[in-house]
A = this chain, B = another copy of it.
């Protein structure tokens, strides 16, 4: 199994990153910190004669890296009850790749993968994070990826996730599966 972690956190060693570390410790996984790259928001050009334009950013290089893996872990802090804006911009751009002649097999390749979601929030995430999980389900259904599981952790202050023993247990269980 070959694993890429797509990390939507905005600060190093945030709670979500810590929880993700519990999952992949001792496992070979490619870490992609979206915060270290330029990813432009999508501009919807589906209906323009000229079509989507190259945004001259790092987005395609990240797509290239994830396509070679068979397991994707979407690791995001819960900001305002959903994934971080930088992760949302990354996913929004899939609409472009789906129409990009340079990626004729994008959907097919994505559909061969498994995905996990790891998310940490500070405001009752086991309830208020649920709409985000439903959205990931819709996202994965659309692109054809199997949604193989998720962990929602609770944490606000630095390293507080280490108090959430249920999330840590789930991380341990997921690690065994990977």
Contact = CB atoms under 8 A, between A and B. Distances in A.
B80 A91 contact: yes
A161 to B, nearest CB: 13
Contacts of A84: 41-42, 88, 92
A80 B130 contact: no
A139 B81 contact: yes
A132 B91 CA distance: 15
A83 B132 CA distance: 12
Interface centre among A83, A85, A88 (most CB of B within 10 A): A85
A134 B131 contact: yes
A33 interface: no
Nearest to A160: B47
Query: How often does this chain occur in the complex, in copies?
Result: 4
Nearest to A122: B46
Interface of A: 9-11, 14, 35, 41-45, 47-48, 77, 79-86, 88-92, 94-95, 123, 126-128, 130-135, 137-139, 142, 147, 149-150, 157-158, 165-166, 169-170, 173
Contact of A42 (B43, B47, B79, B147): B79
A5 to B, nearest CB: 18
Contacts of A9: 44
Contact of A85 (B80, B92, B123, B149): B92
Given A80-B91, A81-B135, A85-B85, A10 B173 contact: no
Contacts of A41: 10, 35, 84-86, 89
Contacts of A137: 127
A44 B156 CA distance: 11
User: Top 3 closest A-B pairs, CB basis?
Assistant: A131-B131, A85-B89, A85-B88
